């Protein structure tokens, strides 16, 4: 039995109150992090206890170049409100060149999303090294804030998948 | 039929305090495919691992998810546990509910909800995992050490001692590095070259060591156990195997205005020169920017006087291509440019010198023959002021944010040596903190203050200027809360040290990660301090962070032992998460081949049976030994023929869907 | 164009007769004279049906690979008739190893712009039975059941020909053309800029309207020479994006964006996607957006300009622009 | 009602824009200060005392007016602390608090009479620096 | 090239020499200085504390006037250059200041720091070019050993001012060299003269000035030049008289052969104390 079940009981009412609040819209954000820099940067943010909103969920990929634009579109289709891709700083890619390719792909994809009328700012690329735990947290906080400002992704969300 | 087990770790209270682990277990139990779920205080403990092993056997699990700390921490542990219970180790997925969840969220409900989602994503992924088998790759029994200072020399000696071949690539004309420039070493005050020279000689004499001096790494390919390196050996214009090091050419060379790098530019050297007396190889080199013959075609004096016939003005850069199993970075450091801090008048006053310049002034082989003389007029100084932390611990943008670590000790050494040799000279040291963690270090510093009467003033210097033929130093004494103005004949700046500027380029070639200060990042700051996160790349000396000689030598030995451990192996297990091409889908367009950084993709034209239709097609083939699993090829492949094992399109999509649900 | 046309047909026959080629890939009229579709002519006799006229807009490059004509050596060489814009596609397919140059004999055919029968009909002309061209190629005499009438060629060009990239053939073995030096016509990015200048909501509404017309017939995919995959990701369950029907509004966007992204850096802007779309969706606006962005971000690049090019998405520069600069460029 | 000392210190930090916690107590600001001898408290003391929330004594000290605003301490501080901004903030708060001014227009004619060469710049500066 | 010119109040009264010769020389060098209309005193000191907005507004007005003309804003007085540059930097980088200032001034087009503020010396170096200037010199100041006195305001804080190396600046030395004279480099050239504290403590200024002059003389300087009226005042007042002190523009005027410069105090610089106060906008 987990020791903190009591704690839960104590907070019952508060938790309930919050539960009603969570009925309200909360953003869904997918973060793709490369294994070598950004994922490690996220780990460092964690071990340094630097918080960022719980709405952000990280998917580990070997390199930012592994992120296929279809993953991003899929995420939007499934109801994500924002997608951020993090990789090693240009020049520091563990695989030498991966993030350079990712950079071009994402630039074109982002431009296209803008072109079809999706709000700018729902997608982002950030370079975060393994040593930049604080930056990781900052980047995530900023991005979550931006997405909250933009509100729900009604334009590209596939309503059918939302239920 | 998939049978998935989910194991939720409390990590003591690290996870359990912010994540309701019981709720995660309950949620796991209702996920499709999950047949077993349990929580435990420490999943990584032996008891925890046994829970996993027993459950795999008892419930015939085909895949497991561990909700715990980062996979970078314990993925290997849990894979091993799974393997021990007969499950393919790649049927394990980790949900990172500590670093990415419990540690960063305070609200338990939000933490629990996120942990659930992360668990579901991992379950969704593991449902699509397939058993993978790690392959093998060869180990070339030869190591490369980049940098021939004390770090590189010691690493090479230790590797050679274990019976392996080592090459040292040194960009300068001689090995020896910064240590060769030092006069005495702290805290023993023994002569630097007296302890370094024998090591240099040993490196030269070793049958297992090849010295490639005046050379730089040009290209690096391959991967751990099998690196392919191209080295540019710069033209020396002197035949290394013929020159006897007699030095006659130096004496005759008419172009004598080159700045003597070894003496920090405090005096001049000829265009053809041997860097210093103990240089190894003890062979001359021509500075082509300065040589009259090479620039105008006239002169040729050195060729005439060389009895060994070693001079060759037509020499060109040469390239050496070699294979290595391991590479050690030992690229060292340099002092920062003191002219960034001209409130100390370094640019305008000759008598303001850096500590490394003082080393040369104090050294018997230096520009003043070891006599302490003012550079401006060659007179004996009566008062010397040392300024510590010049550019260290500086976040203003002019300096370096870190402590350079060695300055407190060498400044104490300098102060003590001056007071010992010239008791008439007053020595003042402005310091912010005196940092002396090291065996016999604080005792050494106290000796300077107590026995040698060095005046330690707590406070920084604000301005140095020249007045009436001497220097005026305006500083602060924070203990007496006074601004102090001192007259001095010399001011010595303890300038911060920074990684050698070549480090970034080399690190990029090696794909070794580098921090914002250009120091090479270690794989783990405490547990893997001499390895880079990139397999097969090891770190020795100051390239990893500021350190003194004893620390450098110990790290050099540690790096060597890691290299030896690697070279002892005959085969390495390779990462099975590599790309795979479906030949039925492949168009043969070559896009993947073009983006592969490892040359792991080739093409073959052969007969394909596409659902009964037999055709000859050009299709991509992945060399699994070369592929490192970055996935660049998977995205450029228009048809989706190329996929990455362990991170397949379907797996990532499944994670995306689980998260967005 | 009629002069060129005659020469082309004669030369094709000659090449077949003298054994230079074993077959001809060209165009053949369908039910109506303006329904010219790609066709393969295996015998000299069958060449009587070969046509080259103002309605031969179809790009034969794609035709070559769908029929695997050019990858099989033992069937002898194939003569292919390529208009200037078609040669870009041919080069791109060569770059991607989808064709064997040795198996193909290219007859570069001059072109003065193809006509769109729907645009002729839109002028109110019905019962069309044939067209004749004026000497200078600028006028068409349209013969109909109800009498003849004269119209300007310029007014009835196929969309892609309105912004022609130029009349020069980028690859050929032999050339029959009298306007090789003619440069580009119109500004092909004008339409993209127009869309870009709209407010995001207007753009969204525009695409919503256009794409809701999509019936997922795959005509665009089938015609597109860059969509050369043996099996399309949308038909492949393992891709994770294999799609079903057009059940909701985002699916078409997904389909078309992914399709455009797959061909980004490879698309030669041949315009076939829009031409063949039965719903008249301006699909070329996607591709041209990518081409425009690539030109602006990474320097001018024309896919298929020559064989063996390294495309912009499989290249990089250390100083490339950051993706955020694209999304940060203005407020929303 | 006067704010508690600690809160005034917080205001000092806020309006000076200086991050006093970054100070590593090297004293370079005081080492470089040309007005050091004229001031009862020295730049490094301003920084440390504000960091500790002890501003009352600083606010009472009139020698704060001797700071030359030469920005040498700002330029040379290795930690980017900007001590001169802290001094300026103290001076501004003291003037606002006391309501009085260290420099009043009545002084001008006397000064000018004594020295007709005083440039406008000096007077304007003094007004800006020394008045509420 | 035409610049919007901001002379500032001191140049209209006590430092008419700095202004007059500056304009004459600019004309001779083909540079057009168009004084902005209805400028107000910049305030002479940059309000360091963050909660002051009103005291930055006159600077913003001047910056905006230049922006509206589509020109760079040229300054000559060190203090004005300091204030305008720093306020402009705030407008560029501090959204809070930007929002408040625009709110107060309500300009048709909001101002966001677009104007480039250029000091006269920078104009000589970057627009005219010291090499071209050297060729324009009709009366080379051969043999004269001149020390540059930079003071504080042009150089610091260097991150904002970006004028020259704050600890070892060379722009005025290069200027002196271009005029044919010998520049004398001395360490005290960027140390404070005492500034406005001179009104409260002459002693403090005297000490500073004498240290500066001693250091300059020890390094061989026979005369000093400056771009700041307040530095000029302090240097002249507390110097020992043996050291000639001039404005940069006076030296330039002489070297360009445009005429001779009158002795201090007898030239264009004249005005009543009342002018001084009113001109400085102190009545507000």
| Beta bridge partners of residue B475, listed in sequence order | B461, B484
Contact B128, B150 (CB under 8 A): no
* Fold that domain B334-498 belongs to in CATH: FAD/NAD(P)-binding domain (3.50.50)
In the predicted structure, residue C226 carries a pLDDT above the cut 90: yes
In the predicted structure, residue E284 carries a pLDDT above the cut 70: no
Contact B250, B262 (CB under 8 A): no
Q: How many CB atoms lie within 10 A of CB D48?
A: 18
* Phi–psi pair at A147, nearest 5 degrees: -65, -40
In the predicted structure, residue C34 carries a pLDDT above the cut 60: yes
Number of domains in chain D: 2
Kindly indicate the confidence band of residue C331, based on its pLDDT and cuts at 50, 70 and 90.
very low
Kindly indicate the confidence band of residue B97, based on its pLDDT and cuts at 50, 70 and 90.
very high
* Phi–psi pair at C13, nearest 5 degrees: -60, -45
Mean pLDDT, residues E129-152: 96
- CATH number at D52 reads 1.10.1060.10
Chain B with chain E: Cβ pairs closer than 8 A: 26
In the predicted structure, residue A163 carries a pLDDT above the cut 60: no
In the predicted structure, residue B216 carries a pLDDT above the cut 90: yes
Confidence (pLDDT) at A16? 45
Give the Cα separation of B64 and E180 in Å (integer): 84
Give the Cα separation of B365 and A9 in Å (integer): 78
Contacts with E129 (C-beta within 8 Å, 6 or more apart), sequence order? none
User: Do the domains B142-234+317-332+500-567 and B334-498 sit in the same CATH topology, yes or no?
Assistant: yes
Give the Cα separation of E90 and C153 in Å (integer): 61
Q: Which residue among B348, B467, B468 places its CB closest to the CB of E185? A: B348
Query: Smallest CA–CA separation between D55 and chain E, in Å?
Result: 16
What is the extent of the structural domain holding D58?
5-99
Tell me: do D93 and D106 sit in the same domain: no
Q: Which domains does chain E have, with CATH numbers?
A: 2-119 (1.20.1050.140), 129-255 (3.40.50.1860)
CA dihedral A35, A40, A45, A46 (to 10 degrees): 90
Confidence (pLDDT) at C67? 67
Query: Smallest CA–CA separation between B467 and chain E, in Å?
Result: 6
CATH of domain A27-158: 3.40.50
Continuous H helices in chain C: 2-17, 60-66, 84-95, 117-122, 159-162, 190-196, 200-211, 219-223, 249-263, 272-276, 284-298, 323-327
Q: Of all residues in chain A, what percent carry a pLDDT higher than 70?
A: 81
Q: Is E59 exposed, middle or buried (0-12, 13-18, 19+ CB in 10 A)?
A: buried
Confidence (pLDDT) at B454? 97
What are the tokens at B621?
Answer: 């083939």
Confidence (pLDDT) at B183? 96
Query: Smallest CA–CA separation between C8 and chain B, in Å?
Result: 32
Give the Cα separation of C87 and B455 in Å (integer): 84
Confidence (pLDDT) at A17? 47
Confidence (pLDDT) at A137? 96
Chain D with chain E: Cβ pairs closer than 8 A: 156
Q: Would the CB atoms of C240 and B649 count as touching at under 8 Å?
A: yes
Mean pLDDT, residues C233-252: 65
Interface with chain E: mutation pick from B342, B396, B461, B462, highest number of E CBs within 10 Å: B342
Query: Residue length, chain D?
Result: 132
Confidence (pLDDT) at D119? 84
Q: Of all residues in chain E, what percent carry a pLDDT higher than 90?
A: 77
Kindly indicate the confidence band of residue B612, based on its pLDDT and cuts at 50, 70 and 90.
confident
- Whether the link from the prior residue into E157 is cis, omega within 30° of 0, is yes
Kindly indicate the confidence band of residue E31, based on its pLDDT and cuts at 50, 70 and 90.
very high
Q: Determine the 3-state secondary structure of D55 from DSSP.
A: coil
Q: Would the CB atoms of B585 and C231 count as touching at under 8 Å?
A: yes
Of A51, A52, A56, A50, nearest to A27 by C-alpha is A56
Query: Smallest CA–CA separation between B479 and chain D, in Å?
Result: 10
CA distances from C203 to A117, B660, C193, D90 (A): 5, 26, 12, 55
- Does the interface ipTM go beyond 0.95? no
- DSSP character for A118? P
Give the Cα separation of B460 and B463 in Å (integer): 9
Class of domain B142-234+317-332+500-567: alpha beta
Q: Would the CB atoms of A57 and B659 count as touching at under 8 Å?
A: yes
Tell me: do D106 and D94 sit in the same domain: no
Of B167, B252, B141, B156, nearest to B200 by C-alpha is B156
Q: Which residue has the higher pLDDT, C326 or C129?
A: C129
Interface with chain D: mutation pick from E161, E164, E195, highest number of D CBs within 10 Å: E195
Any A CB within 8 A of C110 CB: no
Mean pLDDT, residues D9-33: 95
Contact B540, B555 (CB under 8 A): yes
In the predicted structure, residue E46 carries a pLDDT above the cut 90: yes
Tell me: do D79 and D126 sit in the same domain: no
Q: How many CB atoms lie within 10 A of CB A95?
A: 25
Interface with chain B: mutation pick from C230, C232, C239, C258, highest number of B CBs within 10 Å: C230
Query: Smallest CA–CA separation between B404 and chain D, in Å?
Result: 14
Q: Which residue among A111, A119, A159 places its CB closest to the CB of C326? A: A111
Give the Cα separation of C173 and C101 in Å (integer): 10
Chain D: list its partners (3+ Cβ pairs within 8 Å): B, E
**pLDDT tens digits, residue range B121-154?**
999 999 999 999 988 889 999 999 999 999 999 9
**pLDDT tens digits, residue range E174-223?**
999 999 999 999 999 999 999 989 888 899 999 999 999 999 999 999 99
In the predicted structure, residue D128 carries a pLDDT above the cut 60: yes
Contact E241, D93 (CB under 8 A): no
Average pLDDT of the residues of chain B: 95
Q: What is chain D's Cα-based Rg?
A: 15
**pLDDT tens digits, residue range B363-384?**
999 999 999 999 999 999 999 9
Contacts of B343 in chain D (CB under 8 A): 32, 76
What are the tokens at D108?
Answer: 């001008």
**pLDDT tens digits, residue range B615-653?**
888 999 998 878 889 999 999 999 999 999 999 999 999
In the predicted structure, residue E278 carries a pLDDT above the cut 70: no
Q: How far is CA B585 from the centre of its chain?
A: 42
Any A CB within 8 A of C322 CB: yes
Among B215-224, C1-10, C269-278, the range scoring the smallest mean pLDDT is C1-10
Give the Cα separation of D79 and E178 in Å (integer): 38
* Phi–psi pair at B227, nearest 5 degrees: -80, 145
Q: Which residue has the higher pLDDT, D113 or B617?
A: B617
Contact D22, D79 (CB under 8 A): yes
Query: Smallest CA–CA separation between E216 and chain B, in Å?
Result: 9
Tell me: do D76 and D117 sit in the same domain: no
Sheet holding A56-61, edge to edge: A56-61, A29-34, A82-87, A123-127
Q: How many CB atoms lie within 10 A of CB E135?
A: 10
Confidence (pLDDT) at C233? 86
Interface of B with D in 318-347 (CB under 8 A): 343
In the predicted structure, residue E18 carries a pLDDT above the cut 80: yes
Q: Determine the 3-state secondary structure of C151 from DSSP.
A: strand
Kindly indicate the confidence band of residue C70, based on its pLDDT and cuts at 50, 70 and 90.
low
Give the Cα separation of B554 and B548 in Å (integer): 10
Mean pLDDT, residues D97-119: 74
Interface with chain C: mutation pick from B586, B638, B642, highest number of C CBs within 10 Å: B638
Q: Which residues of E240-260 are buried (b: 16+ CB within 10 A; e: fewer)?
A: eeebbbbbbbbbbbbbbebee
Any A CB within 8 A of C197 CB: no
Contact D72, D105 (CB under 8 A): no
Q: Would the CB atoms of B21 and A2 count as touching at under 8 Å?
A: yes
| Beta bridge partners of residue B40, listed in sequence order | B9
Listed by start position, the domains of chain A span: 27-158
What SS3 string covers E165-176? CCCCCCHHHHHH
Q: Would the CB atoms of E187 and B348 count as touching at under 8 Å?
A: yes
Interface with chain B: mutation pick from E162, E166, E187, E189, highest number of B CBs within 10 Å: E187
Give the Cα separation of A109 and C265 in Å (integer): 12
Interface of A with B in 59-118 (CB under 8 A): 59-63, 65-71, 74-75, 78-80, 88, 91-98, 101, 105
Give the Cα separation of C226 and B638 in Å (integer): 10
Give the Cα separation of E132 and B493 in Å (integer): 40
CATH of domain B579-645: 3.30.70.3270
Give the Cα separation of C134 and B165 in Å (integer): 83
What are the tokens at B527?
Answer: 């547990």
Tell me: do D87 and D63 sit in the same domain: yes
Of B182, B234, B213, nearest to B357 by C-alpha is B182
Give the Cα separation of B115 and B315 in Å (integer): 66
Of A98, A80, A88, nearest to A143 by C-alpha is A80
Q: Which residue has the higher pLDDT, B120 or B532?
A: B120
Mean pLDDT, residues C3-19: 91
Tell me: do D58 and D117 sit in the same domain: no
Interface of D with E in 72-111 (CB under 8 A): 72, 74-75, 82, 84-85, 88-89, 92, 102-103, 105, 108-109, 111
Q: Crossing angle of helices A38-47/A133-150, nearest 10°? A: 100
CA angle B566, B567, B572 (to 5 degrees): 60
Of A79, A82, A70, nearest to A29 by C-alpha is A82
What are the tokens at B112?
Answer: 């629990």
Kindly indicate the confidence band of residue D131, based on its pLDDT and cuts at 50, 70 and 90.
low
Residue in the structure block whose two tokens are 């970057």: E126
Query: Smallest CA–CA separation between C332 and chain A, in Å?
Result: 6
* Phi–psi pair at E110, nearest 5 degrees: -60, 145
For the entire predicted model, the pTM comes to: 0.73
Kindly indicate the confidence band of residue B388, based on its pLDDT and cuts at 50, 70 and 90.
very high
Contacts with E135 (C-beta within 8 Å, 6 or more apart), sequence order? none
Kindly indicate the confidence band of residue E271, based on its pLDDT and cuts at 50, 70 and 90.
very low
Q: Would the CB atoms of E187 and B339 count as touching at under 8 Å?
A: no
Contacts of D35 in chain E (CB under 8 A): 192, 197, 204
| Beta bridge partners of residue B65, listed in sequence order | B6, B93
Contacts of B408 in chain D (CB under 8 A): none
Class of domain B4-126: alpha beta
Mean pLDDT, residues A30-58: 95
Mean pLDDT, residues A113-134: 91
| Nearest residue in chain A measured CA to CA from B598 | A95
Interface of B with A in 508-537 (CB under 8 A): 508, 511, 513-516, 521, 533-534
**pLDDT tens digits, residue range C191-215?**
999 999 999 889 988 988 888 888 8
Any D CB within 8 A of E206 CB: no
Tell me: do D73 and D126 sit in the same domain: no
In the predicted structure, residue E281 carries a pLDDT above the cut 80: no
CA distances from B229 to A22, B152, B599, C259 (A): 57, 17, 15, 41
In the predicted structure, residue A6 carries a pLDDT above the cut 60: no
Contact C123, C149 (CB under 8 A): no
Query: Smallest CA–CA separation between B214 and chain C, in Å?
Result: 29
What are the tokens at B629?
Answer: 């699993």
Helix (H) or strand (E) holding E132: helix E130-136
Of E129, E4, E158, E7, nearest to E66 by C-alpha is E4
Question: What residue ranges in A23-120 does DSSP mark as E strands?
Answer: 29-34, 56-61, 82-87
Give the Cα separation of D30 and D37 in Å (integer): 10
* Phi–psi pair at D27, nearest 5 degrees: 80, 10
What are the tokens at B266?
Answer: 């405090």
**pLDDT tens digits, residue range B453-492?**
999 999 999 999 999 999 999 999 999 999 999 999 999 9
| Nearest residue in chain D measured CA to CA from E80 | D121
Interface with chain E: mutation pick from B337, B340, B343, B399, highest number of E CBs within 10 Å: B343
Give the Cα separation of B115 and B24 in Å (integer): 7
């Amino acid at each position: 039995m987990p020791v903190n079940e009591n704690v839960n009981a104590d907070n019952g009412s508060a938790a309930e109150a919050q539960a009603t609040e969570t009925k309200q819209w909360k953003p869904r954000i997918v973060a793709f992090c490369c294994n070598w820099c950004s994922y490690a940067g996220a780990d460092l943010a964690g071990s340094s206890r630097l918080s960022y909103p719980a709405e952000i969920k990280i998917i580990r990929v070997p390199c930012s170049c592994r992120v296929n634009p279809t993953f991003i579109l899929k995420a939007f289709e499934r109801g994500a409100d924002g997608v951020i891709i993090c990789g090693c700083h240009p020049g520091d890619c563990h695989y030498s060149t991966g993030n350079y390719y990712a950079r071009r792909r994402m630039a074109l994809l982002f431009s296209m999303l803008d072109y079809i009328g999706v709000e700018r700012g729902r997608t982002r690329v950030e370079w975060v090294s393994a040593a930049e735990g604080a930056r990781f947290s900052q980047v995530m906080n900023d991005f979550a804030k931006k997405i909250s400002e933009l509100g729900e992704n009604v334009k590209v969300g596939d309503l059918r998948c939302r239920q | 039929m998939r049978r998935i087990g989910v194991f939720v770790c409390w990590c003591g209270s690290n996870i359990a305090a912010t994540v309701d682990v019981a709720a995660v277990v309950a949620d796991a139990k209702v996920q499709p495919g999950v047949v077993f779920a349990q929580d435990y205080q420490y999943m990584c403990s032996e008891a925890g691992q046994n829970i996993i092993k027993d459950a795999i056997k008892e419930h015939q699990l085909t895949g497991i998810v561990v909700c715990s700390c980062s996979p970078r921490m314990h993925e290997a542990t849990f894979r091993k546990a799974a393997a021990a219970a007969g499950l393919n180790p790649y049927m394990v997925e980790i949900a990172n509910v500590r670093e990415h969840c419990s540690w960063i969220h305070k609200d338990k409900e939000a933490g629990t909800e996120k942990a659930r989602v992360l668990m579901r994503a991992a379950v969704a992924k593991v449902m699509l995992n397939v058993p993978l088998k790690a392959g093998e790759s060869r180990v070339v029994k030869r190591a490369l050490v980049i940098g021939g200072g004390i770090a590189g020399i010691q690493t090479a000696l230790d590797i050679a001692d274990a019976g392996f071949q080592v090459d040292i690539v040194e960009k300068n004309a001689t090995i020896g590095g910064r240590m060769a420039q030092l006069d005495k070493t702290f805290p023993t005050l023994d002569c630097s070259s007296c302890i370094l020279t024998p090591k240099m000689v040993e490196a030269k004499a070793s049958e297992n060591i090849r010295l490639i001096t005046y050379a730089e790494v040009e290209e690096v390919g391959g991967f751990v156990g099998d690196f392919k390196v191209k080295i540019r050996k710069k033209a020396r214009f002197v035949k290394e195997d013929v020159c006897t090091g007699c030095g006659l050419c130096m004496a005759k060379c008419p172009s004598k205005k080159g700045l003597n790098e070894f003496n920090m530019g405090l005096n001049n050297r000829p265009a053809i020169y041997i860097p210093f007396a103990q240089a190894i190889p003890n062979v001359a080199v021509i500075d082509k920017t300065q040589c009259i013959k090479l620039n105008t075609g006239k002169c040729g004096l050195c060729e005439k006087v060389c009895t060994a016939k070693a001079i060759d003005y037509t020499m060109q850069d040469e390239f050496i291509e070699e294979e290595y199993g391991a590479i050690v970075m030992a690229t060292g450091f340099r002092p920062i440019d003191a002219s960034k801090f001209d409130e100390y008048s370094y640019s305008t006053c000759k008598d303001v010198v850096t500590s490394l310049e003082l080393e040369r002034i104090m050294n018997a082989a230096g520009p003043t023959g070891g006599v302490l003389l003012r550079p401006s007029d060659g007179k004996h100084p009566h008062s010397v002021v040392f300024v510590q932390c010049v550019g260290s611990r500086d976040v203003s943008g002019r300096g370096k944010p870190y402590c350079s670590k060695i300055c407190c000790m060498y400044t104490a050494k300098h102060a003590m040596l001056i007071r010992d040799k010239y008791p008439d000279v007053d020595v003042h040291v402005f310091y912010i903190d005196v940092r002396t963690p090291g065996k016999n270090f604080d005792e050494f510093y106290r000796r300077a203050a107590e026995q040698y009467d060095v005046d330690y003033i707590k406070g920084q210097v604000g301005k140095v200027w020249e007045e009436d033929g001497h220097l005026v130093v305006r500083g602060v004494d924070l203990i007496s809360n006074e601004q102090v103005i001192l007259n001095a004949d010399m001011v010595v700046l303890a300038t911060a040290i920074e990684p050698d500027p070549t480090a970034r380029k080399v690190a990029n070639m090696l794909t070794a990660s580098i921090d914002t200060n250009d120091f090479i990042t270690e794989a783990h700051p405490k547990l893997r301090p001499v390895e880079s996160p990139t397999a097969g790349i090891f770190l020795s000396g100051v390239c990893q962070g500021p350190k003194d000689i004893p620390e450098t030598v110990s790290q050099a030995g540690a790096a060597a032992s890691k290299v030896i451990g690697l070279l002892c192996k005959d085969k390495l297990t390779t990462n099975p998460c590599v790309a795979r091409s479906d030949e039925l889908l492949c168009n043969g367009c070559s896009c993947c081949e073009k983006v592969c950084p490892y040359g792991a993709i080739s093409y073959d034209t052969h007969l394909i049976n596409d659902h009964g239709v037999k055709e000859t097609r050009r299709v991509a083939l992945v060399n699994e030994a070369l592929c490192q699993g970055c996935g660049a090829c998977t995205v450029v492949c228009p048809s989706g023929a190329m996929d990455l094992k362990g991170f397949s399109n379907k797996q990532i999509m499944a994670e995306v869907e689980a998260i967005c649900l | 164009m009629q002069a060129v046309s005659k020469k082309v047909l004669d030369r094709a026959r000659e090449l077949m007769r003298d054994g230079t080629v074993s077959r001809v890939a060209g165009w053949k009229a369908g039910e109506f004279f303006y329904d010219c579709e790609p066709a393969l002519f295996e015998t000299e006799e069958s060449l009587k049906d070969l046509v080259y006229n103002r309605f031969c807009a179809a790009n034969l490059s794609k035709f070559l690979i769908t029929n695997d004509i050019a990858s099989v050596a033992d069937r002898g060489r194939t003569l292919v008739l390529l208009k200037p814009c078609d040669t870009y596609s041919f080069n791109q397919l060569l770059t991607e190893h989808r064709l064997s140059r040795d198996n193909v004999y290219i007859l570069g055919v001059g072109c003065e712009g193809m006509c769109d029968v729907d645009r002729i009909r839109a002028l109110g002309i019905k019962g069309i039975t044939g067209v004749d061209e004026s000497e200078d190629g600028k006028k068409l005499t349209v013969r109909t059941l109800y009498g003849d009438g004269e119209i300007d060629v310029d007014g009835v060009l196929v969309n892609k020909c309105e912004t022609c990239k130029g009349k020069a053939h980028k690859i050929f073995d032999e050339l029959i053309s009298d306007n090789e030096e003619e440069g580009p016509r119109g500004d092909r990015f004008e339409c993209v800029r127009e869309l870009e200048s709209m407010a995001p909501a207007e753009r969204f509404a525009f695409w919503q309207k256009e794409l809701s017309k999509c019936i997922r017939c795959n005509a665009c995919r089938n015609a597109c020479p860059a969509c050369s995959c043996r099996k399309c990701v949308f038909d492949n369950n393992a891709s994770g994006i294999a799609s079903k029907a057009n059940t909701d509004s985002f699916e078409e966007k997904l389909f078309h964006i992914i399709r455009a992204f797959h061909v980004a850096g490879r698309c030669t802007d041949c315009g076939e996607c829009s031409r063949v779309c039965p719903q008249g969706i301006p699909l070329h606006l996607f591709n041209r957006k990518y081409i425009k962005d690539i030109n602006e971000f990474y320097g001018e690049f024309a896919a298929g300009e020559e064989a063996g090019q390294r495309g912009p998405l499989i290249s990089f520069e250390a100083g490339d622009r950051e993706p955020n600069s694209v999304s940060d460029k203005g407020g929303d | 009602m006067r704010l508690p000392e600690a809160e005034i210190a917080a205001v000092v930090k806020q309006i000076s824009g200086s991050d006093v916690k970054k100070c590593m107590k090297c004293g370079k600001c005081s080492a470089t200060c040309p007005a050091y001898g004229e001031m009862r408290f020295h730049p490094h003391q301003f920084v440390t005392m504000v960091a500790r929330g002890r501003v009352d004594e600083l606010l009472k000290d009139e020698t704060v007016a001797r700071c030359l605003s030469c920005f040498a301490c700002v330029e040379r501080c290795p930690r980017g602390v900007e001590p001169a901004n802290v001094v300026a903030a103290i001076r501004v708060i003291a003037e606002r608090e006391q309501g009085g001014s260290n420099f009043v227009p009545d002084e001008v004619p006397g000064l000018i009479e004594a020295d007709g060469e005083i440039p406008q710049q000096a007077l304007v500066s003094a007004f800006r620096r020394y008045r509420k | 090239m035409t610049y919007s010119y901001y002379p500032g109040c001191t140049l209209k009264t006590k430092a008419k020499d700095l202004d007059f010769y500056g304009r004459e020389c600019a004309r001779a060098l083909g540079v057009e200085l168009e004084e902005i209309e209805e400028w107000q005193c910049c305030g002479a000191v940059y309000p360091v504390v963050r909660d002051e907005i009103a005291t930055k507004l006159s600077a913003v007005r001047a910056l905006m006037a230049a922006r509206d003309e589509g020109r760079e804003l040229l300054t000559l007085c060190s203090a004005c250059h300091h204030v305008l540059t720093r306020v402009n930097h705030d407008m560029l980088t501090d959204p809070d200041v930007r929002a408040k200032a625009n709110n107060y001034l309500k300009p048709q087009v909001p101002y966001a720091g677009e104007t480039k503020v250029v000091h006269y010396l920078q104009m000589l170096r970057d627009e005219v070019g010291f090499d071209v200037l050297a060729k324009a010199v009709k009366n080379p100041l051969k043999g004269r050993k001149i020390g540059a006195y930079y003071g504080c305001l042009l150089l610091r804080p260097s991150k904002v001012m970006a004028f020259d190396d704050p600890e070892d600046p060379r722009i005025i030395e290069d200027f002196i060299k271009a005029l044919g004279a010998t520049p004398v480099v001395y360490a005290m050239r960027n140390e404070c003269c005492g500034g406005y504290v001179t009104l409260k403590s002459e002693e403090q200024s005297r000490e500073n000035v004498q240290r500066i002059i001693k250091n300059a003389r020890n390094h061989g300087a026979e005369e000093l030049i400056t771009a700041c009226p307040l530095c000029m005042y302090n240097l002249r007042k507390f110097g020992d008289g043996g050291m000639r002190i001039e404005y940069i523009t006076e030296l330039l005027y002489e070297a360009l052969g445009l005429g001779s410069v009158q002795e201090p105090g007898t030239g264009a610089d004249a005005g009543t104390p009342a002018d001084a106060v009113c001109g400085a906008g102190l009545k507000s």
